[in-house]
Amino acid sequence: MAPPIFVALLILILLYRTGLIRIYGYFRPNWEETDPKGSVIIEALNDLTQPVEDFVDEAREDVKEKLKEFDENMSEHEWYRKNRIAIFIAAAFALFFALAVTQVIIEHS
């Protein structure tokens, strides 16, 4: 647990930031009128990244459609046979995570 001095310091920093935000809001109360859409930089970045996001979405949809067609043509046995490695990797990760959690519990008991 954190020492009490750090907790007190974090509370003071939170109060200080809250005070600064309130002072800023008092002297600039109509910020929504002067900057209604947000930061110009964020808008520019959104404009730059929009074509990439569109391309990724289209590619994702294409892959989903192809996988759906592929999966529909396979029987359940074939699906498990094709995905055996992925199933083993997921099981190994789950086992490793369970062992790690168990080890931590045993060490702290």
Burial track 46-62 (b if 16+ CB lie within 10 A, e otherwise)? eeeeeeeeeeeeeeeee
Structural domain boundaries enclosing 7: 1-36
Helix, strand, coil proportions of the chain in percent (round to 5)?
A: 85, 0, 15
pLDDT tens sequence across 75-102:
777 777 777 888 888 889 999 989 988 8
Q: 27 and 16, same structural domain?
A: yes
pLDDT tens sequence across 10-24:
899 888 888 887 777
For the chain, the first-to-last Cα distance in angstroms comes to 17
| Number of domains observed in the structure of the chain | 3
Q: 90 and 69, same structural domain?
A: no
Q: 59 and 46, same structural domain?
A: yes
In terms of phi and psi (left: phi > 0; alpha: psi -120 to 50; beta: otherwise), the region of 74 is beta
73: its two tokens: 């043509």
- pTM of this structure: 0.32
Q: 42 and 66, same structural domain?
A: yes
